Structure 1
Amino acid sequence: MAKYLIGLMSGTSMDAVDAALVRFTDAPIPDLTLRHSLPVPISLREELLAVAQPGSNEIDRMMRLDADVARLFARAAGELLAQAGLKPSQIQAIGSHGQTIRHVPDGPEPYTVQIGNPSLIAELTGITTVADFRRRDMAAGGQGAPLAPAFHAAFFRTHAEERIVLNIGGIANITRLSADPDIPVSGFDTGPGNILLDAWSRQHLGMPLDENGAWAVSGCPLPELLAAGLDDPYFRLPPPKSTGREYFNPDWLNAKLAALPDAHPRDVQATLLELTAVSIANAIRHYAAMTQRMLICGGGVHNRALMDRLRARLAGIPVESTAVHGIDPDFLEAMGFAWLAKRTLDGVPGNLPEVTGARGLRILGGIYPA
């Protein structure tokens, strides 16, 4: 009998809640039945960005936002159900990633924080909610991220060729899918995806993003700035590794720009585009040199200039959207959290220790009954 689950995801960019209605049958691959994206209100996004950095009165602000995010997630699920013509009773569960506001996997006491109160989501929707996926992996010594590689492997692994799945959200991460079934899946965060590009666009254009990378293309990369960026210690760390807004942010960029006070903003944007492309290409060449095809998902797939730079940096490797393989690149992560929720309900592990560095397989998340 088919079962429906809903996956809810809001990433590092904090621009929208993506809701995926996923139908699970006896077939090995579930079906993305319906998708819906609910924009995050500008005022809420600004508050989330503020609480993502150290500041005063953090606990009160975080707990208020915990409820605000939960209401937004519940609304996204409700709108999705209305479009599908389904009732809450027809949905087995919601898998909610929540909104990450801190991710500190390498501190003295590693931690990660995703807000969006799952108890409130369950209360408002009348649907059992599975959430808090990352902390169990971290409790077992892992990075708590990335979690998508297990899902990537279920969809895209093949004996026919060596593949990389590249997700370009605010942060970029890769999943290596070897054609050899005896070689474990591997993956890690390569560094910035859209996060620096979007921040610079907001600062200088008043726009949430650089559409198709048009502004970046109008400038020329600054070799000194690119070298300074690529010299960052994060890029030399071996996996497992993960990162986030706590590390790659406007303060990080401003520190690199200190030696270039007269840099033109469009040239900085061109450099940031190149930084994303080069750091991804370097990671693939170093850790997945035999790659024969790269499948891309996440918002970065729509940045034409970035796609062109990746193709240039990875000459000879086909670079294509996951849409070519039947999966909407904008909703793959939301779909993945529906899949992870199903695994949790079935008592099946959802992490990959080879990716996160955890001591072993773990059932992820907590279950909040309707």
Structure 2
Amino acid sequence: MKELYLGQMSGTSADGIDTVLLEISDSGMQLLGQQAQPYSTELRQRVLRLCQPGDNEIAHMGELEYLLAEAYAEAALNLLAALDIPAARIRALGCHGQTLRHHPPSCATIPFTVQCGDPNIVAEKTGIATVADFRRRDMAVGGEGAPLVPAFHCAAFAAPTEKRVIVNIGGIANITDPHTGRGFDTGPGNTLMDGWIHRHSGVNYDAAGSWAASGTVQPTLLAQLLQQPYFQSPPPKSTGRELFNLDWLDQQLSGLAPMASADVQATLLELTATTILDAIRTHVGPCEALYVCGGGANNRHLMQRLAQLSEMRVATTAALGIDPQWVEAAAFAWLARQTLHALPGNKPVATGARREVILGAIYPA
């Protein structure tokens, strides 16, 4: 039986909401529609402010819960209107929410994770059963609560004839071996590059990696950055803005000779590529191809460096049937189906959980 699910993702880059419509049946899945809705400047600033400790956090988060929920509901209804599909045909909406803090067991004595965007409001405004709060059940059984996409990567991208790795480059980068389900966060994806170019140019990202391509990688800075213990720690592991942010970068730069800002950007891109490939070599082993999804797939210079440093075939997940921009949102549509069918959504080999569990809470329409 074919069922329709919406999936929504607003990632670490905090630039907006990706919404997809996924048709899922026992024989497979098909992406029927997609739409990106950017955050307003004010909403993005509210999100970024709460990603770091500050004053009056509870009040600010309460307001943001409401504002984000309205934005999620609007984005879902806009996509359905564009596709001329009534909400009544949608079985459920998988809404990840906006991560504000993620302190997993690997780096916190008392682990917790916070995703913002009230699913009660989303369900009420859309008239669609909403599945949310995916990460905390995995953490309740000792898992990192991340990454959750490996289970979807296995369902969508596994192939017996090719040894491949799926590389998701959002604000944070993660990898999945779709043959085993093993996956973990490798470190920064776009978050440091985005923050650095915003500081120096006022734009939110380095289009096609052109600014990084104009600079020269600084070996001393790269070596300094690679000393961060996270890169050597064994999986399962996950990370976020709490560790990899501009304050951390400033600390690394403080003891070094001044360097051109474009050279720093080039080195940050090299850090992303290097840590992804080091993680694959160490924990996956030889493979034939890398398939990239997430915003990093649009960074032409980053894709070139991955190909040059790996000497493997590097493509995007478009070659496997899903455009790289929509993979994470599709994953949460699929996870919503898992929840409604009482099926597990985590991969213990990826998150470190003691067992498979059903993820998420259901908010009926």
Does TM-score exceed 0.5, indicating one fold? yes
Distance 2:4 2:46 in 1: 33
Distance 2:224 2:240 in 1: 19
Where does residue 255 of structure 1 map in the other structure? 251
Q: 1:268 aligns with which of 256, 264, 267?
A: 264
Where does residue 181 of structure 1 map in the other structure? none
Identity %: 51
Where does residue 100 of structure 2 map in the other structure? 101
Where does residue 144 of structure 2 map in the other structure? 143
Q: Does residue 1:304 correspond to 2:305, yes or no?
A: no
Shift of 1:156: 1.1
Distance 1:11 1:263 in 2: 30
Where does residue 332 of structure 2 map in the other structure? 337
Q: Secondary structure at the match of 2:259?
A: coil
RMSD: 0.9
Where does residue 279 of structure 1 map in the other structure? 275
Distance 2:68 2:327 in 1: 21
Letter in 2 for 1:203: R
Q: Deviations over 1:103-159 (max 9, x none)?
A: 000311100000110011001111100000000000100000000000000111111
Where does residue 19 of structure 2 map in the other structure? 19
Distance 2:278 2:42 in 1: 37
Shift of 1:260: 2.5
Letter in 2 for 1:144: G
Q: TM-score, normalised by structure 2?
A: 0.98
Gaps of 5+ in 1: 179-183
Letter in 2 for 1:113: V
Shift of 1:32: 0.5
Distance 1:67 1:44 in 2: 11
Q: Secondary structure at the match of 1:146?
A: coil
Q: Secondary structure at the match of 2:324?
A: coil
Q: 1:319 aligns with which of 283, 301, 314?
A: 314
Where does residue 81 of structure 1 map in the other structure? 80
Letter in 2 for 1:355: A
Shift of 1:288: 1.5
Shift of 1:25: 2.5
Where does residue 8 of structure 1 map in the other structure? 8
Letter in 1 for 2:323: D
Shift of 1:66: 0.8
Shift of 1:261: 5.0
Gaps of 5+ in 2: none
Q: Does residue 1:368 correspond to 2:363, yes or no?
A: yes
Where does residue 348 of structure 1 map in the other structure? 343
Distance 2:141 2:76 in 1: 31
Q: TM-score, normalised by structure 1?
A: 0.97
Letter in 2 for 1:194: N
Q: 2:204 aligns with which of 208, 212, 223?
A: 208
Distance 1:224 1:16 in 2: 35
Distance 2:25 2:350 in 1: 28
Q: Secondary structure at the match of 1:330?
A: helix
Distance 2:307 2:35 in 1: 30
Shift of 1:279: 0.7
Structure 1 runs of 4+ aligned residues shifted over 4 Å read: none
Distance 2:20 2:266 in 1: 34
Distance 2:148 2:25 in 1: 23
Q: Secondary structure at the match of 1:30?
A: strand
Q: Deviations over 1:175-230 (max 9, x none)?
A: 0133xxxxx32010000000000000100011111111111111111111100001
The alignment of Structure 1 onto Structure 2 pairs a total of residues equal to 363
Q: Deviations over 1:59-81 (max 9, x none)?
A: 11111101111100000001011
Letter in 2 for 1:174: I
Q: Does residue 1:219 correspond to 2:218, yes or no?
A: no
Q: Does residue 1:48 correspond to 2:47, yes or no?
A: yes
